[in-house]
Chain A
Amino acid sequence: VESLRDAVHGAGGFVDLKLGHYNKDGIEVVDVEGEIDVYTAPRLRELLIDLVNKNNYQLVVNMEKVEFLDSTGLGVLVGGLKRVRAHDGSLDLVCTQERILKIFRITGLTKVFGIHDTVDLAISARKSEK
């Protein structure tokens, strides 16, 4: 039943990625829900670029509801990090899911991103660095 559900879900036109963002304590928090892959990653990239273009250089990407992340998604996050760093900013991640963390470990990107357990912890860690 599970496998059939997977196959049917994949064939359907379900919303694959939901994005939202809000400001908290001067830091822009981006909520990501769903799957970040070669199809959906451009939308996240556009959002990050848009936020940077609107002078948001302190970003936290909340990935707690991300169900799938591939190298395309990693590329978008690295791209976002480079953009904010060009303005002396930061891009931290919130993630506790082992399936997602594993991808960051395999690729060595745990050394590149600050990865935190909650949004509040990410924000407080960023504030304490200032």
Chain B
Amino acid sequence: MATVEVSFTPLPAHVRTARLVATAVARRSGVDESLLDEVRLAVGEACSRAVEAHRRHCPTEPVRIEMTDLGERFEVVVRDSVPSAQATPATANGHGQASHGNAGHGNAGHGQAGPGQDNFGLDGHADDPGAHDDSADGSAADGSALPPGGLPGGFGLAVISGLADDVRITATVSGVSVRMTWPAAVGAQALRAYISCTKSNLSLP
């Protein structure tokens, strides 16, 4: 069972709330302060992607987030409810392919990507917020390092892959889930953090 679950109507204004809650739960779960910015950004990217997908396909369905303290890891799963007609299950090593079945949706690749890994070729989500920007308005790039047509689709997922310690994206007939984890402190350190956060009167053994 997740430590905290949140569902929200797919409105951009709520994405901020979602990422702040995720940051708060991560802190309570013992995620190091230096990683909290990464949690905040990655969860925000995943929620932005899900919100855009819902607004196009199922605007009345809520976006769901599960945040779980796994002891040595802190896990966040962001689920959308956009059906995938051509879902391909992930393979055992965490590398696989996910795709929306709807026209205009590309593949959502994933893996345990490091910051240096190029993920732009992995996906082409038209749902990605970066793909909606006016940067794709066709105004001419001048041969510089700008990607053709502005930011590529799936840009948000690429950012996530550069931030989260472990990212898995899977698609099923019920929707796409983005699962991300980060290391969390265990034992006394986590307990102290918990006590300081809750100001409870727990006594150490």
Which A residues have a C-beta under 8 Å from some C-beta of B?
A: 1-4, 6-7, 9-11, 16, 35, 37-39, 41, 45, 49, 68, 70-72, 74-76, 78-79, 81-83, 85-86, 99, 103, 106-108, 111-112
Contact = CB atoms under 8 A, between A and B. Distances in A.
A7 B20 CA distance: 6
Interface string B119-160: 000000000111111111101111011100011000110110
Interface size class of B (residues with CB under 8 A): 35 or more
B173 interface: no
Contact of A39 (B16, B20, B145, B151): B16
B89 to A, nearest CB: 27
A87 to B, nearest CB: 10
B15 A78 contact: no
Contacts of A37: 12, 15-16, 44, 48
Interface of B: 12-13, 15-21, 23-25, 27-28, 37, 40-41, 44-45, 48, 51-52, 115, 128-137, 139-142, 144-146, 150-151, 155-156, 158-159, 162-163, 197
Contact of B130 (A2, A71, A111): A71
A10 B19 contact: yes
B150 A75 contact: yes
Contacts of B51: 38
B16 A35 contact: yes
Contact of B139 (A76, A86, A106): A86
Given A38-B51, A70-B48, A75 B133 contact: yes
Contacts of A9: 20
Given A37-B15, A37-B48, A71-B48, A78 B159 contact: no
B129 A83 contact: no
Contact of B24 (A6, A99, A107, A108): A6
A29 B163 CA distance: 30
Contact of B16 (A10, A78, A81, A112): A10
Nearest to A49: B134
Most buried by B among A7, A75, A112: A75
Contacts of A106: 115, 159, 162-163
Contact of A3 (B23, B52, B133, B134): B23
A75 B151 CA distance: 6
Contact of B134 (A6, A11, A79, A112): A79
A68 B41 contact: yes
B16 A103 contact: no
A68 B18 CA distance: 14
A9 B17 CA distance: 8
Contacts of A3: 23-25, 27-28, 197
B151 A103 contact: no
Nearest to A107: B159
B130 A112 contact: no
Given A9-B20, A76-B133, A82-B135, A70 B156 contact: yes
A74 B115 CA distance: 17
